Structure 1
Amino acid sequence: MFQSTLELLSDPPEGYLLPSVDVIGGIGQIRANLMKDAYKSQVEFTLDLARVFAQTADGHFDYNPALLNVFTFRSLTSLVSVSDDGLGVPRIYLYDDFAKSVINDTDVWDIKSIDDVPITEWLETQSFQVSSQDPDAKYNALFRNSVATDFQGTGNYFVLRYAGEAPDSQVIKFTNGTEYMDELVAIVNEALVPFIGSPESIHSVVELPSNTTSSSTSAMSSSPSSSAATPTSTQIPGYPLPVIKHASDWISGYFLNGSDYEDTAVLAILAFSPSELDTANGTFEIVEAKRVVDQFLKEAREAGKTKLIIDVQANGGGFVAAGFQLYNQLFPKSTDVWDGNRIRANEALNAIGMTAQEVSPRVLLDFNKAILDETLKPYEDWQALYGPKLIAGQNVTNILRYNQSAFPFSRSKDEQVFEPQNIVVITDGGCASTCAIFTGLLVREHGVRTIALGGRPREHAMQAVGGVRGVEVLNFVSLRAAIRQTARDAIRADYLDYLEDAFDVLPDIGEPPLLPSLARSGGKFNYRNAYSRDNADGYPEQFVYEAANCRLFYTVEMIINPVAIWTRSADVAWKNAKCVNGSTMNSDMTISDDLVPYSKEVIGLNLDYEGPGSPLYKGDYEPPSPYVQRRTNNKRSFVDNLSPPEDFEYEFNKLKIGTLKQYLEQNALEYLKYAPNHNIGISHAVQKQLL
């Protein structure tokens, strides 16, 4: 119920490009199947559950059933999508064939089909597993199509197969009539090898909760990624020598060579945080990012650079403060930086808020950091903040904004170096979360143009931001911790009325004894929806179609050399080079300031889903019920059910900059003043805010 988009997913507006899915209904249908003993195996059940989450196409919303982490089913073959000239629709090749053709300058044949299914249709169907909300971004993620995705370890989703949907082999047929037998493999998690022979052992080790009750149990996870990127000393693998780069490699700056590009600089932003977020020093990462960009802008000004390319290929987000900091460095005179958002209103949220503002103000502030209204004035109390208000068919809070003066970076006092018309953003559609926030500010507040790369082999517009556009992700463990601490404080203060009234809808604070634990699932949800300044009472950005100003397909040169992407983008942005037909409003196919409007041509194809949660699914529905039933109306029984484990400690957000005292001094409003309770330990947070 805390996922911010539930109603909109079940009945999306025109402009949303994917099929609808009823998450709550789908889970109820799965529950009905369980009640009827309709599943033949635990794997069949977990696959149904995983598919419901996959259909939401939300990179912030995920529940990864532990059983699906035992094996990874995959191909050992990668693909690449290549256009002859960047304008003609691309063809699909085996990556190894592509690499050989580049090295040896030999011709290779493109792929016609897989198991007799036309290649584009097969790939579009396979792309359902990618969490982007745009079909072109989903399609792009299947390939090894850029140095950026190779370095980040993203993309290449073609190799992954769902359990139960992976044959032993697949026949790849080429356009010259030859065939290649793609042998699929199952890779087992090394730590689980000793238990593979026994279903009982696998269930015990993988699915049952561990003995610890700590909220910080680490999650098991799987990914198509290879190893995490390791910071390099002088340059990023695959990229030219930079003018300057971040010590953790996620920002780097370049000056283009040649008389045609001597006025052009490039800022490559692979992410807004390092790849190893769990061990990152947030203070260092953000301070280092400011140093790098400040120095880059200084050198660009001194070198006479007047045009800027911002490359956000493979950028899935990161520290939200890093996104706002970069925006401030590019546009230092912009003071009212729009960050309007809303939370889905629900009975459990209101009960937590009403209780926490009285007994756990510091938990409320940690759990809900956006506490200002649209005019940046503080709400009087929780009731004023909460509302609720009916917006676009769902009950949500009033508009919320952050106290940005408390963000952990110093504001730029320098002059603006690049004018908006001299900035262009290039993206592969995977731009998500903090990247979506940053790019949205450039586009909507300043009219900066965008160029989208790759996508489906069709001549039409493509969205620049195809990843999740929500502004805050929380994991289930963090939500449970906030409820536990609020409940503990409420019990001590004998302030239980709101929690007791909402008991049947509060997320359970314990671990169900026979199901995968929340900590092991790595589960998370989108807590806040983003709204544009001019549509704050409309649909959230996640459901609004917004095409890029231009589109290009990847050529051979663009795949192997990022400089080719940058020079081609400069030609499009400032030298009247052509865009893909249908991707721009200009009749001569040059980049336009206006955006191509939504049309049904861009809707995702071959993504039909008929399982639980689909409008096409005909199964029974079993309504939800709390795992721990209220046994009696006796207050003692209620307190027992709500009490957290004795060794539980609430852990504050470890990515917050400064001490708790400093944070509260900067952020706390009068109604949220905190009197220290020395019986409650304070330590680093479990919560990861990878936005």
Structure 2
Amino acid sequence: MLRSTLSLGVFSLALPYLSSATPAHDDLLSVFERRGEPPLSTACSSIVNPEQERAREWIISSRNLQNDQLGSLRSGRTIYHHVLRVKEHLKPCGPTLGNCLLPSKSEAQIYIGQSESIFNARLVHDCLTSVPFNPTVASRFLEYYKDTLQFHSTLAYLKTPPITYQQPPVDLIDGLNRIQIAINNGLLANQYEYEVMLQRLIFSAHDSHLNLNAGVLSAFIFGSPWRIVCVSRDGVELPRVYLEAHVQESLRPGASDASPIATIDGRPVIEFLTDYAANNAIGGLEAHSDWNQLMASAAQDIQGGASIFSGAGTFYTADTTTIKLENGTRLDDHWRAIYLNAGDPSPLRTGGDFYNFFVLGYRPTPDQANNASPTEPTETISPTITASLQATQTSWNNPAYPSHPDVFQTDIGTFGGGFLTGYFLPNSSLAVLSIPSFLEIGGAVHTFSKTIAEFLRKAKAVGKTKVLIDLQQNSGGDALLAHDTFKQFFPWTNPYGGSQMRSHETGSPIGQVLTKYWETLPKESDGYLNLVASEWVPKNRFNPVTGRLFGSWEEYFGPYTAHGDGFSAVEQYDFANVFFTTASTGADEYFKVYGTAGRPANVSQPFEANDIVILTDALCASTCSLFVEMMHHDAGVKTVVVGGRPSYGPMQAVGLTRGARSYAVQLDLDSNIAFTQAKLRDQQDPRSTFLPNRTTSNDVLIVAASINLRNQVRKNESTPLQFLYDAADCRIFNTPRTVFNYTTLWQYAADAIWTTPSLCVRGSTGYSSFNTTGPIEPPASLTPKPPEAPFQQGNSPGTIINGIMNPPIPLPPASPIHADVSRRTDAAFEVACDMNRGCPGTAACVLFSEMCIVNPRGHTVQKNSYRCAAQCTTAAGLGWTGCAGGRICVPRKDSATLANAPIVYGYCWPGQEKLCVAGAPAGQGGYAWKKNR
């Protein structure tokens, strides 16, 4: 079977790459002792059993169903509420609370009759913060992960991004070094603090291809008990945030209007949600796409997902939550934690048990399971999965979608393989093709392509003259299916589709060895077919400069310098090679891309570009971004984006990662490194130690991890698409009817493009670009500003997470977003700065907010700018400077106390500054005062 796939989208979970044998606990202790390190018993309050089976296999087997079916547990929009049971699960020990004695699944559930295990978030947080921290294990993992990040393609651009990039810069390698500084100084109280710090660093890359699911954070996700939507009353007024159920109720005949949410947990709703999105959103390229990840969506529901607000948040927020509506209604409940592991958590009695199980991968001792209270094995399957297994299903079981599609892919359903539906709207010239995912395997690859062809044929046959392609919540999938779909719309247009790797010294041996090895294999042998689409065998890819296949690894890998870093040559896929196209998609039979040499086009172009429109909710990632790039930039199709923050102005149609290749760390990268090192050892080549052994250099059980291996780039450009500003042609707001009725939404979006441009949000048009115009920079007055330093929601005993990941161990400020303010604003303060210019000495470039009173009515306008400020702290012995010249050390929000030693972080601010005339509206003056940051 052909195993190699070009899966760009929802990060596919990989089984951990294991050595041939897993050591018993005694062996593990002796390994630590031989290194001169403390045994795990000094870090964990409960020791794993030194006998029995290969315990890691138990965990892996208990998670296999998730790995195969649920997609990435940290992909934001693909978190699934149903956690499936396995027959060989641990028996619960009862409902005893305290420390890590969690209740059994049956006693933990809040929702009667549902299959997931839901706990009170505070109970889980108390457990997680009791998990001990082993600095040796953590330090070894940081070295392993630092080596891994050398293969991530955007390191240089993240460090110094172009002005078109809408998020703050971040130096990932330096961030790992600063986490190590925190470990060396003994500043971490528990494993949870360490993992949160690491995840925040990863999140700061705003790239869902950069993914790590490991440790105690892999056990739970967090969420509110409520689903929310953001809708405009008439599509023109700025939208308000509502409880989804209240808006649904208001649409019933005779019902009163829903009341907007005024506050959440005592804070103004927009302020709270802005901070929440800044902390929990995954892969958002701007504030609008972060915001949309909070909202309920039917396109997400049909894929079994949850919004980051209602059940897919990574970090703990608080114990209780209170929502107040503008009509005075108050709602109180608890934040919730959802258990993701297939086994029951109750035998994990202590923080040490959690460490052994989720960090090291060893099960609890047998006596814990044997003494547990007996329960009946549970094999509940969620309704979504049940429906997906029915081969006769022909439509989505969701009221937002029409109940009877005119075209549908075989086996519609989350795990049934089918995603495509097509609708011919009555009394309209519009045909709608819904593509919520490009992720297919086996025979579904072929039915996907056939369904596209059927849709186009039938749409023409019934006289439809316009087409809308709905890509809401499309997080990617198979790159070649995007190419195939494009070619069916534009059979005679050849899109550029260029991409390139980062070229670095640790990558070169892999390509040299695998390319030479593949050249020795008999054609069509298993080994040949397994490597024909390998990332490290470029001979099946075109060099667009020469128009020929790459002749060698050296021709491909360069390095070729751009933005101060090395990159490979740009590559394009060889669609004429049926072995390559089949292996790339994982199809069960030979797959050929339509409109290429292997499968020539046999019909004329079905629709002109100006008769097609693409609709997104900005939550379009990976292969979805490739498809939009080809349709919009290469073919000239217009785009409409729906939603975003409650502000006017443009919004990007593709708001999530635009990387070209999500690459699994253990299944792909580590396996290829191990194979390369084995070959080099056989040849007695000293390069065999170009990296430490990837199996023995890491003690942590990784459920899943990925990097972005290749960047998408345009013809004659070097900046990755990830860092370009690419606004939609038109932005629309959701209304109470469009958010629950996609037929209405589709027609609304089509009308905004073809008949009623006034439906487009004010100030949102005129910022799109095609292949003849080049990139357009975002408008300075309309583009949201990235948030300041990450907001730590909820309190953790001894937490210093933000203090470490931000100055005085400096990282760029990272988040609340203030609408209608440019990301880079030069304003006089101490010294103006931006993310490229930096500050002198140890000063930090930080976000400074002023409130300008605009005369004569006393109206206030918030002005934000980046300015240099000295850093200060009360902690002794850490070498950070204090304040001089009468300036005051103003504590940051995230200042905290570790044990009994206060560590207060802050910035040195001067006295009250007068006049922000430069930032006030024309002809108006005012006075400003600072807000502490």
Distance 2:509 2:679 in 1: 14
- What residue in structure 1 maps to residue 490 of structure 2? 331
- What residue in structure 1 maps to residue 503 of structure 2? 345
Distance 1:479 1:596 in 2: 36
Please tell me whether residue 583 in structure 1 is matched to residue 764 in structure 2. yes
- What residue in structure 1 maps to residue 669 of structure 2? 479
CA 1:318–1:190 in 2, change beyond 3 Å: closer, same or farther?
Answer: closer
- What residue in structure 1 maps to residue 409 of structure 2? 246
- What residue in structure 1 maps to residue 42 of structure 2? none
The one of 51, 56, 59 equivalent to 2:208 is 59
- What residue in structure 1 maps to residue 542 of structure 2? 372
Q: Percent identity?
A: 28
8 Å contact from structure 2 (residues 179, 804) kept in 1: no
Instruction: Write out per-residue CA displacement over residues 535-587 of structure 1, whole angstroms, 9 at most, x where no aligned residue.
Output: 2xx3100000000000001111111111001111221122134211000139x
Please tell me whether residue 8 in structure 1 is matched to residue 157 in structure 2. yes
8 Å contact from structure 2 (residues 179, 805) kept in 1: no
Instruction: Write out per-residue CA displacement over residues 7-44 of structure 1, whole angstroms, 9 at most, x where no aligned residue.
Output: 21121110111112211111111112112221011111
CA 1:468–1:296 in 2, change beyond 3 Å: closer, same or farther?
Answer: same
| 1:250-399 to 2 correspondences below 5 Å | 250-258=419-427, 261=428, 263-274=429-440, 280-281=441-442, 284-334=443-493, 336-359=494-517, 363=531, 366-368=534-536, 370=538, 371-375=541-545, 376-399=547-570
Name the stretch that deviates more: 557-566 or 99-108: 99-108
Compute the TM-score of the two structures, normalised by the length of structure 2: 0.59
- What residue in structure 2 maps to residue 85 of structure 1? 234
8 Å contact from structure 2 (residues 676, 688) kept in 1: no
Amino acid in the other structure paired with 1:526? N
The one of 686, 700, 715 equivalent to 1:516 is 700
Deviation at 1:607, TM superposition (A): 5.1
Please tell me whether residue 448 in structure 1 is matched to residue 660 in structure 2. no
8 Å contact from structure 1 (residues 287, 409) kept in 2: no
Deviation at 1:190, TM superposition (A): 5.6
8 Å contact from structure 1 (residues 461, 602) kept in 2: yes
The one of 131, 134, 142 equivalent to 2:294 is 142
8 Å contact from structure 1 (residues 359, 490) kept in 2: no
8 Å contact from structure 2 (residues 482, 624) kept in 1: yes
8 Å contact from structure 2 (residues 227, 309) kept in 1: yes
Distance 1:196 1:615 in 2: 31
Provide the aligned length of Structure 1 versus Structure 2.
580
- What residue in structure 1 maps to residue 396 of structure 2? 236
Please tell me whether residue 489 in structure 1 is matched to residue 667 in structure 2. no
Please tell me whether residue 549 in structure 1 is matched to residue 729 in structure 2. yes
Deviation at 1:155, TM superposition (A): 5.0
Please tell me whether residue 196 in structure 1 is matched to residue 379 in structure 2. no
Deviation at 1:161, TM superposition (A): 7.5
Distance 1:507 1:607 in 2: 37
SS in 2 for 1:171: strand
Distance 1:613 1:540 in 2: 31
CA 1:595–1:583 in 2, change beyond 3 Å: closer, same or farther?
Answer: farther
Deviation at 1:287, TM superposition (A): 1.0
8 Å contact from structure 1 (residues 452, 551) kept in 2: yes
Distance 1:441 1:458 in 2: 29
SS in 1 for 2:356: helix
SS in 2 for 1:560: coil
CA 1:476–1:378 in 2, change beyond 3 Å: closer, same or farther?
Answer: same
Name the stretch that deviates more: 448-457 or 3-12: 3-12
Name the stretch that deviates more: 54-63 or 573-582: 573-582
Deviation at 1:421, TM superposition (A): 0.5
Amino acid in the other structure paired with 2:567? V
8 Å contact from structure 1 (residues 25, 612) kept in 2: no
8 Å contact from structure 1 (residues 111, 175) kept in 2: yes
Q: Structure 1: which 5+ runs fail to align?
A: 212-224, 275-279, 587-592, 622-691
The one of 254, 258, 263 equivalent to 1:108 is 258
SS in 1 for 2:324: strand
CA 1:492–1:209 in 2, change beyond 3 Å: closer, same or farther?
Answer: farther
Please tell me whether residue 178 in structure 1 is matched to residue 348 in structure 2. no
8 Å contact from structure 2 (residues 394, 410) kept in 1: no
- What residue in structure 2 maps to residue 44 of structure 1? 193
Q: Structure 2: which 5+ runs fail to align?
A: 1-149, 364-381, 413-418, 520-527, 582-590, 595-600, 768-772, 792-800, 812-933
Q: Which has the higher Rg, Structure 1 or Structure 2?
A: 2
Deviation at 1:410, TM superposition (A): 4.4
Amino acid in the other structure paired with 1:326? T
SS in 1 for 2:655: coil
Instruction: Write out per-residue CA displacement over residues 640-687 of structure 1, whole angstroms, 9 at most, x where no aligned residue.
Output: xxxxxxxxxxxxxxxxxxxxxxxxxxxxxxxxxxxxxxxxxxxxxxxx
CA 1:68–1:616 in 2, change beyond 3 Å: closer, same or farther?
Answer: closer
Distance 2:288 2:338 in 1: 29
SS in 1 for 2:725: coil
- What residue in structure 1 maps to residue 913 of structure 2? none
- What residue in structure 2 maps to residue 221 of structure 1? none
Please tell me whether residue 157 in structure 1 is matched to residue 157 in structure 2. no
Deviation at 1:119, TM superposition (A): 1.3
Deviation at 1:73, TM superposition (A): 2.8
Higher helix share: 1
CA 1:414–1:369 in 2, change beyond 3 Å: closer, same or farther?
Answer: farther
Distance 1:617 1:357 in 2: 45
Amino acid in the other structure paired with 2:271? E
Deviation at 1:152, TM superposition (A): 2.0
Deviation at 1:602, TM superposition (A): 1.5
CA 1:296–1:26 in 2, change beyond 3 Å: closer, same or farther?
Answer: same
Higher RCO (CA-CA < 8 Å; seq separation 6+): 1
CA 1:87–1:296 in 2, change beyond 3 Å: closer, same or farther?
Answer: same
- What residue in structure 2 maps to residue 130 of structure 1? 281
Distance 1:210 1:246 in 2: 42
Amino acid in the other structure paired with 2:783? V
8 Å contact from structure 1 (residues 110, 174) kept in 2: yes
Instruction: Write out per-residue CA displacement over residues 49-103 of structure 1, whole angstroms, 9 at most, x where no aligned residue.
Output: 1111111110100112321123333221111111112222110011222222223
Instruction: Write out per-residue CA displacement over residues 512-533 of structure 1, whole angstroms, 9 at most, x where no aligned residue.
Output: 46x4223x2x110000000012
Distance 1:432 1:135 in 2: 15
SS in 2 for 1:257: coil
Distance 1:296 1:608 in 2: 48
The one of 638, 644, 647 equivalent to 1:458 is 647
CA 1:613–1:556 in 2, change beyond 3 Å: closer, same or farther?
Answer: same
- What residue in structure 2 maps to residue 220 of structure 1? none
Distance 1:210 1:349 in 2: 32
Deviation at 1:210, TM superposition (A): 5.9
Deviation at 1:2, TM superposition (A): 0.6
Amino acid in the other structure paired with 2:206? A
SS in 1 for 2:302: helix
Distance 2:394 2:517 in 1: 52
Distance 1:170 1:431 in 2: 31
CA 1:612–1:383 in 2, change beyond 3 Å: closer, same or farther?
Answer: farther
Distance 2:438 2:803 in 1: 34
Distance 1:330 1:419 in 2: 9
Amino acid in the other structure paired with 2:269? I
Instruction: Write out per-residue CA displacement over residues 296-335 of structure 1, whole angstroms, 9 at most, x where no aligned residue.
Output: 111112222221111101111111111111011111112x
8 Å contact from structure 1 (residues 549, 595) kept in 2: no
Deviation at 1:341, TM superposition (A): 0.8
Deviation at 1:616, TM superposition (A): 4.1
Distance 2:293 2:646 in 1: 14
Name the stretch that deviates more: 339-348 or 61-70: 61-70
8 Å contact from structure 2 (residues 164, 723) kept in 1: yes
